[in-house]
A and B are shown apart, each in its own frame.
Chain A
Amino acid sequence: MKAVLALQDGTVLHGIGFGAKTERVGELVFNTSMTGYEEALTDPSYAGQILLMTYPLIGNYGTNGNDKESDKIHVSGFVVRQISPDHEHRQADNSLNSFLGQQGIPCISGIDTRFLVRNIRDKGVMPAAISVSNNEIDVKNLLSKIADFDYSAVDFVSKVTTSTPKVFGKGKKVALIDFGVKMGIVRELVKRNCEVHILPSYSTSEDVKAIEPDGILLSNGPGNPAILTQAHKTIRELADKPMFGICLGHQLLAHAFGGSTYKLKFGHRGSNHGVHDLIKNRISITTQNHGFAVDKIPEKFELTHINVNDKSVEGMKGDNIFSVQYHPEASPGPHDSTYLFDEFVKMM
Chain B
Amino acid sequence: MLVNSNPATIQTDRDIADRIYIEPLTLGILEKIIEKEKPDALLATVGGQTGLNLSMELFRNGILEKYNIKFLGTDAASIEIAESREHFNRLMEKIGIPILPGKVVKDFKTAKEFAESIGYPVIVRPSFTLGGSGGGTAYDEKELEKILDLAVRLSATQETLIEKSVLGWGEFEYEVVRDSAGNTQIICNMENIDPMGIHTGESIVVAPSQTLSDVDHQSLRNASLKIVNAIGIKGSCNVQLAMNQQTGEYVVIEVNPRLSRSSSLASKATGYPIARVATKIALGKTLHEIKNAITDTSAAFEPSLDYVVLKIPRWPFDKFPKTSRQIGTQMKSTGEVMAIGRTFQEALNKAIRSLEIKIPQFNPDEHLKNATDLRIFAIMESFRNERSVDLIHEITKINRWFLHRIEDMIKLEKKIAENELSQELLLTAKRAGFSDAQIALLKHTNELKIRNLRKSFGIVPTYKIVDSCAGEFEALTPYYYSVYEDENEAEPLKGKKIVVIGAGPIRIGQGIEFDYCCSHAAFALRDLGYKSIMINNNPETVSTDFDSSDRLYFEPLTFEDVMNIIENENPDGVIVQLGGQTSINLAHHLSEAGANIIGTSTDGIDIAEDRNRFSKLMRELSLPQPENGTALNEEEALEIASRISYPVVVRPSYVIAGRAMEIVRNESELRRYITEAVDVSERKPVLIDRYIDNAIECEVDAVTDGTNVFIGGIMEHIEPAGVHSGDANIVLPSLRLSDVEKEMIVDYTKKIAEGIGAVGLLNIQYVVKDGIVYILEANPRASRTVPFVSKAIGIPMTKLAVKAMLGEKISSTPPKHNHYAVKSIVFPFLKLMGTDIKLGPEMRSTGETMGIGKTFEMAYYKALLAAGITIESEKPAAFLSFRDEDKKHVPELTELLKKLRFRIYGTLGTVGSVEGAIAIPKIGRGHPDAVELIESGTINLVVNSPTQGGHAHTDGFKIRRASIQKGIPCITTINTAFEFLKALEKTEELEVRTVEEWAK
Contacts and interface: CB of A to CB of B under 8 A. Distances in A.
Contacts of A309: 297-298, 301, 473
B217 to A, nearest CB: 5
A88 B401 CA distance: 6
Residue among A67, A91, A334, A335 with max Cβ neighbours from chain B (10 Å) = A334
Contact of A88 (B308, B344, B399): B399
Interface in A40-74: 54-57, 60-61, 64, 66-67
Interface stretch (A236-244, A247-255, A278-286, A339-347): A278-286
A285 B185 contact: yes
B519 to A, nearest CB: 29
A215 interface: no
B487 A283 contact: no
A56 to B, nearest CB: 5
B325 to A, nearest CB: 29
Contacts of A274: 185, 287-288, 298, 300-301
A140 interface: no
Contacts of A34: 208, 304-305
Contact of B471 (A61, A91, A121, A334): A121
B212 A32 contact: no
A273 interface: yes
Nearest to A92: B213
Contact of A90 (B185, B246, B305): B246
Given A60-B211, A84-B401, A55 B471 contact: no
Contact of B217 (A35, A38, A273): A35
A87 interface: yes
B534 to A, nearest CB: 22
A39 interface: yes
Contacts of A84: 401
Contact of B464 (A33, A114, A272, A333): A114
Majority SS at the chain B contact face: loop
Residue among B247, B287, B470 with max Cβ neighbours from chain A (10 Å) = B470
Given A55-B306, A117-B306, A67 B215 contact: yes
Nearest to B341: A56
A318 to B, nearest CB: 25
A224 interface: no
Interface in B189-222: 208-218, 221-222
Contacts of B470: 30, 32, 54-55, 114, 117, 270
Contacts of A121: 471-474
Interface string A323-346: 000000011111110000000000
B210 A67 contact: no
Nearest to A270: B304
Contacts of A331: 214
Interface string B441-480: 0000000000000000000001010000111111000000
A283 B306 contact: no
A276 interface: yes
Contact of A115 (B401, B474, B487): B487
A60 B210 contact: yes
Contacts of B489: 118
Interface in A69-118: 81-82, 84-91, 111-115, 117-118
B472 A270 contact: yes
A52 to B, nearest CB: 10
Contacts of A55: 208, 304-306, 470
Nearest to A89: B213
B300 A283 contact: yes
Interface residues of A, number: 55
Contacts of B306: 32, 54-56, 113-114, 117
Contacts of A336: 225
A222 interface: no
Given A112-B485, A112-B486, A115-B485, A272 B301 contact: yes
A118 B308 CA distance: 19
Given A89-B213, A112-B486, A32 B469 contact: yes
A13 B462 CA distance: 17
Interface residues of B, number: 57
A55 B301 CA distance: 17
Contacts of A87: 401
A56 B475 CA distance: 19
A139 interface: no
Given A32-B469, A34-B305, A36-B214, A82 B343 contact: yes
Given A32-B472, A33-B304, A283 B183 contact: yes
Interface in A255-287: 270-274, 276, 281-283, 285
A88 to B, nearest CB: 4
A1 B486 CA distance: 20
Contacts of B469: 32, 272
B308 A57 contact: yes
B432 to A, nearest CB: 10
Contact of A118 (B215, B216, B246, B487): B487
A308 interface: yes
Interface in B478-515: 485-487, 489
B427 to A, nearest CB: 10
A283 B472 contact: no
Contacts of A39: 214
Nearest to A119: B487
Contacts of B212: 35, 61
B248 A90 contact: yes
Interface string B232-255: 000000000000011110000000
B214 A333 contact: yes
A284 to B, nearest CB: 8
A273 B472 CA distance: 11
Nearest to A332: B214
B673 interface: no
B304 A85 contact: no
B404 interface: yes
A35 B186 CA distance: 14
A90 B245 contact: yes
Contacts of B400: 86, 88
B408 interface: yes
Given A35-B213, A285-B185, A57 B218 contact: no
A284 B919 CA distance: 70
Contacts of A281: 181
B316 to A, nearest CB: 33
Contact of B302 (A111, A113, A272): A272
Interface string A13-30: 100000000000000001
A23 to B, nearest CB: 23
Nearest to B307: A56
B302 A335 contact: no
Contacts of B210: 57, 60
A326 to B, nearest CB: 13
Contacts of B472: 30, 32, 54, 117, 121, 270
A161 to B, nearest CB: 25
B629 interface: no
B685 to A, nearest CB: 48
Contact of A67 (B213, B473, B486, B487): B213
A36 B181 CA distance: 29
A112 B487 CA distance: 7
Contact of B214 (A33, A57, A86): A33
B342 interface: yes
28 contacts: A32-B469, A32-B470, A35-B209, A55-B208, A55-B470, A57-B210, A61-B212, A61-B213, A82-B342, A85-B408, A86-B401, A88-B399, A88-B400, A111-B486, A114-B487, A118-B489, A121-B471, A272-B303, A273-B301, A274-B287, A281-B181, A282-B183, A285-B185, A285-B186, A285-B301, A285-B302, A335-B222, A336-B225
Given A39-B214, A57-B210, A274-B287, 12 more contacts: A32-B469, A33-B304, A55-B304, A81-B342, A90-B247, A121-B473, A270-B304, A272-B304, A282-B183, A309-B297, A309-B298, A332-B214
The 3 closest A-B pairs by CB, nearest first: A36-B214, A274-B300, A332-B214
